[in-house]
Amino acid sequence: NLQVLLRRRPQGAPVPEDFEVVETAIPTPGPGQVLVRAHFLSLDPYMRGRMSDAKSYAKPVALGAVMEGATVGEVVTSNDPSFKPGDVVMGGQGWQRFCVMDAARLRKVDTSVAPLSAYLGLLGMPGLTAWVGLEDIGTPKAGETVVVSAASGAVGQVVGQLAKARGCRVVGIAGGAAKCDFVVKELGFDACLDHRQPLDPQLDAACPDGIDVYWENVGGHVQEAVFPRFNDFGRMVMCGMIAQYNIAPGADAAGAPPGPNLGPVVRKRLRIQGFIVSDTGWGRYDAFLAEMTPLIAERRMRWREDVADGLAAAPRAFIGLLQGENFGKLVVRIG
């Protein structure tokens, strides 16, 4: 079995030496278990958190253990009547080619709705994140202005298109002209602003009626620019703050992004609420799929993937994810 292990905990930005690629024996499934061969591995920002032993909502990956991550693939052998060899499934685990899973944790997927790798992005955890955050916190109404940061990424792509499908004016924020172009021309957002250019004049032009919903994926200077433009009763979906993930604990404040002035939360009766997709999302997966499936069939939902080739390329691709090098949902074709 080909595996990527966590060799040491990164200080600041991860480097290739934090990982180790090893060959081990293929595991054998026990009763009620299934051996899955992964075809694609998802790389996601949360993995930076799992590499650290700082206290968080989830346990860190142990040193020497296989890196945590979702995979999609096919059943090789099954000791459970609900799966047979050749079934195509989501729910695989780890930066590795083969994994043994309890059958209850796997779900068959329909590759006629979307290709297999899409079950790591659009129809996987990131897409579900977008849907849950909009349903529970963003609650966008037709005619409202929705701003989405990291707009070309795995979560941002779906947030913006769902908000468009619900009749909102949708403004993305992304890094660089190529990403912004894609967000407007391919995904159909009304505008997309480049956070590497001064944001204040761009926001003034793109959001003349203020901002009703802000989907927060990055924090830092983007959050600082968006914040004063909230309308009364605005909603800020606190999904993630990737700009802060590589800041070492106790780091000198000089390296840290600017913090927001949260004063308007009180004055404008804003509701800011964090959430973790796994708390309630998977229990509502069917409702999510019911909204997504027709949108995909009618080509009203588009997506972009960034595919790294070979499991050994995973560490480098993951490091790039934290620096904006991925363009779209990042997955690894395991081969």
Residues that bind ligand NDP in the complex, under the rule CB under 6 A: 44-46, 126, 129, 150, 152-156, 174-175, 179, 195, 217-218, 220, 239-243, 275-277, 321-322, 324, 326, 329
The smaller minimum CB distance to ligand NDP, of residues 134 and 277, is found at 277
Query: What is the nearest approach in angstroms of ligand NDP to the Cβ of residue 45?
Result: 4
Query: What is the nearest approach in angstroms of ligand NDP to the Cβ of residue 173?
Result: 7
How far is 326 from 313, CA to CA, in rounded Å? Answer: 13
Q: Closest-CB residue for ligand NDP?
A: 153
Closest CA to 241 of 43, 13, 10, 45: 45
Query: What is the nearest approach in angstroms of ligand NDP to the Cβ of residue 304?
Result: 10
The smaller minimum CB distance to ligand NDP, of residues 191 and 218, is found at 218
How far is 296 from 294, CA to CA, in rounded Å? Answer: 5
3-state percent helix, strand, coil for the chain, nearest multiple of 5: 35, 25, 40
The smaller minimum CB distance to ligand NDP, of residues 18 and 305, is found at 305
Using DSSP's 3-state secondary structure scheme, residue 60 falls into coil
Query: What is the nearest approach in angstroms of ligand NDP to the Cβ of residue 282?
Result: 11
The smaller minimum CB distance to ligand NDP, of residues 97 and 329, is found at 329
The smaller minimum CB distance to ligand NDP, of residues 28 and 273, is found at 273
Query: What is the nearest approach in angstroms of ligand NDP to the Cβ of residue 182?
Result: 10
Contact (CB, 8 A) for 38 and 71: yes
> Buried b / exposed e across 86-106, counting CB within 10 Å, b at 16+?
ebebbbbbbbbbbbbbebeeb
CB atoms within 10 A of CB 293: 15
